[in-house]
Amino acid sequence: MRLGVISDTHGFLRPEVFGIFEEVDHILHAGDIGAWEVMLALEALAPVTAVWGNVDPPDIQARVPAVATLQLDGFDIVVTHGHDLPDGAGGSPTPARLVAAFPRAEIIVYGHTHRPLLELINRTVTVMNPGGAGQARFDLKPSVGIMELEPGIPPRARLVPLL
């Protein structure tokens, strides 16, 4: 199974995402969708599991959860924006904080920071932030992720920069 992983579109879906996600079986959107039209465009490509982020308006928050859990090809997956993880300091999400918050997950997808990240924790949990896919912010280049799932072997994933 091939997953398209995206976050922080903020109402803007770059045209190159359509080519990158052309052959995905499922899309994971880690919040800050920005406009429901983004969801409609992604749903035209593949089924979408999405969560809302800290700047999503109430109409989007009413349509998608804050955290989504699902199982695909035998993998327990959590999708979260990550902005509301408890830590007492109000800091940004990190792989360690995410694994602590979702100890049963084998794959954790998050957003919020706009910083692309792909990390293996304890040789068993894959944590991915696809980066921000909307307008470039914070001097970071836009990006998305692709993840390949096959039962019985660890997920294979890569970050894909957008122009």
Rounded CA-CA distance 95/24 in Å is: 25
What's the pLDDT at 144? Answer: 97
Report DSSP state, residue 35: S
C-alpha dist (Å) from residue 17 to 44, 102, 158, 162: 12, 29, 14, 8
Q: Which residue has the higher pLDDT, 28 or 93?
A: 28
What's the pLDDT at 23? Answer: 95
Q: Which residue has the higher pLDDT, 140 or 90?
A: 140
Min mean pLDDT across 9-13, 23-27, 83-87 is at 83-87
What's the pLDDT at 139? Answer: 80
What's the pLDDT at 86? Answer: 61
Taking 80 as the threshold, does the pLDDT of residue 104 lie above it? yes
| Domain containing residue 69 | 2-161
What's the pLDDT at 13? Answer: 95
Q: Encode pLDDT of 107-153 as tens digits.
A: 999 999 999 999 998 777 899 999 998 877 778 899 999 999 999 88
What's the pLDDT at 90? Answer: 53
What's the pLDDT at 16? Answer: 96
What's the pLDDT at 157? Answer: 96
Domain of 156: which CATH number? 3.60.21.10
User: Quick one: residue 102, left, alpha or beta (phi over 0 = left, psi -120 to 50 = alpha)?
Assistant: beta
Number of domains in the chain: 1
Q: Encode pLDDT of 36-75 as tens digits.
A: 999 999 999 999 999 999 999 999 999 999 999 999 999 9
